[in-house]
Amino acid sequence: MTTGLWELVLKGIWTTVQLLVLSSLLAAAVSFVIGVARTHRLWIVRFLAGFYTEVFRGTSALVMIFWVFFVLPPAFGWQLVPMWAGTLALGLTYGAYGSEIVRGALKAVDPAQQEGGIALSFTPWQRMRLILLPQAVPEMIPPFSNLLIELLKGTALVSVMGMGDLAFSGNLVRLALQESAGIYTYLLLIYFVIAFLLTRLMRGLEKKLKAGVGKEPTREVQVPQPVGGGVG
């Protein structure tokens, strides 16, 4: 490929990374807000959070991108740039999946921990912040890692808006060179490298969060000494 085509691919990688970071931040925020809301003591809060989850899990991310980019402007009189439209659609969609991860991890914490916080007169927020989340967050990392990889692959959907992400740039290069096998092989390798780096990053985060969590204190084993003298 020529230098200009390589620059086009590099710009596509940078756009994909930007979109991945922004949409993952939004998805993480939505995951925790909706996930915690699904464990709320008020039924109306649980119902609204559950309704949001079912709606966004049951709709296509591609159709959501179309809806945000093409339907919202005529309805509300304003236009989102492709980056923000993609961020909003992907973040809200994948955040719905992440909320189930948060809810499941919170429910998996030993109920005795919750009861201990009540016995100590902690408020619900204090129990969540000091007891539940520190134990639940490390268990969320592996499924969140998988979700992050799925989100990376989902960023290719924004190419339908004409956004110059990696998939869109790769297609332009394919049209310019009239070659499919080599270009799409390059794209597969680039996505794989990004996914591999993300996996390693999440594993490191998991080890850091799990350090010292749930470990029993080490006890020094003492060998009992015989009392009195031996038998003569």
pLDDT at 128: 84
Taking phi over 0 as left and psi of -120 to 50 as alpha, with beta for the rest, 59 belongs to: beta
**Average pLDDT of every residue of the chain:** 85
Q: Is the pLDDT at 224 greater than 80, yes or no?
A: no
Helices (H) and strands (E) in the chain, counts: 10, 0
pLDDT at 217: 42
C-alpha to C-alpha distances, 202 to 20, 86, 158, 232, nearest whole angstrom: 15, 23, 25, 66
Structure tokens at 83: 């980056």
Q: pLDDT per residue over 59-106, tens digit each? A: 889 999 999 888 887 777 777 888 999 999 999 999 999 999 999 999
Distance CA 147, CA 157 (A): 16
Using 50, 70 and 90 to split pLDDT, how confident is the model at 225? Answer: low
Please answer whether residues 35 and 106 qualify as being in contact, where contact means their C-beta atoms are separated by less than 8 angstroms. Answer: yes
Q: Which residue has the higher pLDDT, 175 or 94?
A: 94
Count the neighbouring beta carbons within 10 Å of the beta carbon of residue 81: 11
Q: Is the pLDDT at 178 greater than 70, yes or no?
A: yes
pLDDT at 119: 83
pLDDT above 70 coverage of the chain, percent? 91
Distance CA 33, CA 174 (A): 42
Q: pLDDT per residue over 23-35, tens digit each? A: 999 999 999 999 9
Kind and range of the H or E element at 93? helix 82-108
pLDDT at 176: 84
Lowest mean pLDDT among 51-60, 112-121, 175-184, 201-210: 112-121
pLDDT at 212: 56
